[in-house]
Amino acid sequence: MLFRESETIELKEIVTDEIKKEIIAFANCNGGKLYIGVKDDGTVIGVDDADNVSLQISNMVRDTIKPDVTMFVHYETIEEEGKEIIAIDIQRGTDRPYYLAKKGMRPEGVYVRQGYSSVPATDTAIRRMVKETDGDCFEAMRSLNQNLTFEATKKEFDLRKIEFGSKQMRTLKLIDQDGLYTNLGLLLSDQCVHTIKVAVFQGTDQMVFKDRREFSGSLLKQMNEVYDFIDLHNQTRATIEKLLRIDVRDYPEVALREALLNTLVHRDYSFSSSALISIYTDRIEFVSIGGLMPGIDLEDIMVGLSICRNQDLANVFYRLHLIEAYGTGMRKIMKAYEGKEEKPKIETTKNAFKIILPNINAKYETGNITSSNIKATTNSVTGDKNILDDKERVLKYARSQGAITRNDVMALLKVSASTATRILQRLVKENLLKQNGKARNTHYSIIKK
């Protein structure tokens, strides 16, 4: 028999680690044969103990290649020129891409056949193999990163006293039937690559930035941190109607919550672009990647029809009691503005979905106050369009005085004790203030960077 290397034939003198790459490459492509005991030039040198060598290779394949490729690898001992050689027949696998367990589903771990050689696969080739194997559903595809941790997600489950272990991860489809993490697992892991960018602008356009942040990590971590950030900028305006003091926040909290959850759950994560949240003086805009699902119109969404792009992600949020089973989010947003002059707006394009929430108090900032029954108090938290927002005023005071207390914030912003505490705690979480002392001696100082 004449031995010659080709696109489907590889020759090896002895067993080395390179054999794993050859087997992976054949399984990821159109299959092939690997002969052990034959030099590159086709010279037969044989092996000393064919059975032991076959067992060695079999163990190597089972222990170091993922997913399990053993059913596509067959061994045969043949005799050539009076010497024993091992013929390994590798078929094209059905769970591509196959990869070195220690390297993961990355170019350095995934190999394909190119001419007479086995070479690292490109990211594009890896994604194509994943898509061919797992289908078009992004959530169900195997994550390219298999080194995932879930500290933030476990914390969220523990907070609601819901068990979160390997069994639950399989049930929720964070882990597939082969024991591999899915893209849903990636989204909820601490290594999630998708982010949310939040920007605060001065005025009603994007000419001047006041603040900007990018939030990363598990989607559940992003959810909490983004909400805290926008809630900090959700100021309160105090008014007096006869003898009654009325506190009105710029945005109804339920509307902010539902808009943020919509951005997380319905986003198209097959795109790498960040979701965007823009805060202006008169509105806040939530822009998520991915337009309406095929066959759905905006009118359908407004009456409560919901076809979720990420069903499994929505199920996780449902298990955590963050969303309801049916599409009530938009109706909740609209109901939150019931009786208000300003109404939320929804805008859609082929690849984007935007929710615009108007600032209920914006008319007071521009001086358009109707004083027939309601008069702004001198204790108003807002009212002057040039006034600094709550966070900036607190930080400015702390810098000038060396420290600030809850009573200082109450007097400075004319807010309740609970609101003052909330503002201070969020500044501490953002590493802008440091809490010192306890009980009545508690005060906050600027963190120097």
Kindly report the three-state secondary structure assignment for every residue of 344-394: CEEEECCCEEEEEEECCCHHHHCCCCCCCCCEECCCCCCCCCCCCCHHHHH
Looking at the structure, tell me whether residues 319 and 222 fall in a common domain.
Answer: yes
d(CA 66, CA 230): 43
| pLDDT score of 376 more than 70 | no
- Residue 167: inside a domain: no
Q: What is the mean pLDDT of residues 230-258?
A: 83
The pLDDT, as a whole number, for residue 305 is: 66
Per cent of the chain over pLDDT 70 is: 90
Looking at the structure, tell me whether residues 371 and 416 fall in a common domain.
Answer: no
Residue 422 belongs to domain spanning: 388-449
* Closest residue by Cα to residue 235 from 286, 198, 279: 279
- Residue 158: inside a domain: no
CATH of the domain at 419: 1.10.10.10
Looking at the structure, tell me whether residues 329 and 408 fall in a common domain.
Answer: no
Regarding pTM above 0.75, the answer is no
Mean pLDDT of the chain: 86
| pLDDT score of 330 more than 90 | no
- Residue 426: inside a domain: yes
Looking at the structure, tell me whether residues 372 and 392 fall in a common domain.
Answer: no
The dihedrals phi and psi of 401, each to the nearest 5 degrees, come to: -100, -10
Looking at the structure, tell me whether residues 54 and 80 fall in a common domain.
Answer: yes
Looking at the structure, tell me whether residues 440 and 324 fall in a common domain.
Answer: no
Which range (25-29, 35-39, 289-293, 378-382) has the least confidence?
A: 378-382
Per-residue tokens: 277: 């949240």
- Residue 76: inside a domain: yes
Q: What is the mean pLDDT of residues 135-163?
A: 91
Which range (10-19, 263-272, 273-282, 364-373) has the least confidence?
A: 364-373
Looking at the structure, tell me whether residues 297 and 414 fall in a common domain.
Answer: no
Per-residue tokens: 19: 């054999």
CA 126 to chain centre: 20
Q: What is the mean pLDDT of residues 384-390?
A: 48
pLDDT digits (tens, 9 = 90+) for 42-51: 999 999 999 9
Pairing of strands 244-249, 352-358: unpaired
| pLDDT score of 33 more than 60 | yes
d(CA 36, CA 34): 7
Contacts of 168 (CB under 8 A, 6+ apart): 157, 162
| pLDDT score of 449 more than 70 | no
Q: Which long-range contacts (CB under 8 A, 24 or more apart) does 176-182 make?
A: 176/140, 176/142, 178/67, 178/68, 178/95, 180/66, 180/67, 180/142, 180/143, 180/146, 181/142, 181/143, 181/145, 181/146, 181/148, 182/139, 182/140, 182/141, 182/142, 182/143
Looking at the structure, tell me whether residues 204 and 336 fall in a common domain.
Answer: yes
- Residue 127: inside a domain: yes
CATH of the domain at 352: 3.30.565.60
> Angle, to 10 degrees, between the axis of helix 219-232 and the axis of helix 417-429?
130
CA atoms within 13 A on the CB side of 401: 15
The pLDDT, as a whole number, for residue 149 is: 96
| pLDDT score of 185 more than 90 | yes
Q: What's the pLDDT band for 367 if we cut at 50, 70, 90?
A: very low
Q: What's the pLDDT band for 377 if we cut at 50, 70, 90?
A: very low
Which range (76-85, 303-312, 431-440) has the least confidence?
A: 303-312
The pLDDT, as a whole number, for residue 381 is: 36
3-state secondary structure the chain: CCCCCECCEEEECCCCCHHHHHHHHHHHCCCEEEEECECCCCCECCCCCHHHHHHHHHHHHHHHEECCCHHHEEEEEEEECCEEEEEEEECCCCCCCCEECCCCCCCCCEEEEECCEEEECCHHHHHHHHHHHHCCCCCCCECCCCCCCCHHHHHHHHHCCCCCCHHHHHHCCCECCCCCEEHHHHHHCCCCCCCEEEEEECCCCCCCEEEEEEECCCHHHHHHHHHHHHHHCCCEEEEEECCEEEEEECCCHHHHHHHHHHHHHCCCCCCCCCEEEEECCCEEEEEEECCCCCCCCHHHHHCCCCCCCCHHHHHHHHHCCCCCCCCCHHHHHHHHCCCCCCCCEEEECCCEEEEEEECCCHHHHCCCCCCCCCEECCCCCCCCCCCCCHHHHHHHHHHHHCCECHHHHHHHHCCCHHHHHHHHHHHHHCCCEEEECCHHHCEEEECCC
| pLDDT score of 375 more than 50 | no
Looking at the structure, tell me whether residues 222 and 369 fall in a common domain.
Answer: yes
Among the candidates 350, 378, 406, a domain finishes at 378
pLDDT digits (tens, 9 = 90+) for 245-277: 777 889 999 999 999 999 999 899 988 889 999
Looking at the structure, tell me whether residues 290 and 394 fall in a common domain.
Answer: no
Looking at the structure, tell me whether residues 246 and 370 fall in a common domain.
Answer: yes
The pLDDT, as a whole number, for residue 94 is: 86
pLDDT digits (tens, 9 = 90+) for 283-310: 999 999 888 776 667 777 766 666 778 8
- Residue 140: inside a domain: no
How many structural domains does the chain have?
3
Q: What's the pLDDT band for 440 if we cut at 50, 70, 90?
A: confident
Among the candidates 117, 134, 151, a domain finishes at 134
Q: What's the pLDDT band for 437 if we cut at 50, 70, 90?
A: confident
Per-residue tokens: 435: 């809490």
Pairing of strands 236-241, 209-215: unpaired
Among the candidates 378, 409, 424, a domain finishes at 378
User: Averaging pLDDT over each range in 84-93, 135-144, 402-411, which range is the top one?
Assistant: 84-93
- Residue 14: inside a domain: yes
User: Averaging pLDDT over each range in 243-252, 334-343, 386-395, 408-417, which range is the top one?
Assistant: 334-343
pLDDT digits (tens, 9 = 90+) for 401-434: 889 998 888 888 877 777 888 889 888 888 889 9
CATH of the domain at 122: 3.30.950.30
Query: How far from 421 is each of 62, 173, 325, 436, 446, CA to CA, in Å?
Result: 58, 40, 34, 14, 16
* Closest residue by Cα to residue 153 from 272, 309, 267, 322: 322
Looking at the structure, tell me whether residues 362 and 417 fall in a common domain.
Answer: no
- Residue 418: inside a domain: yes
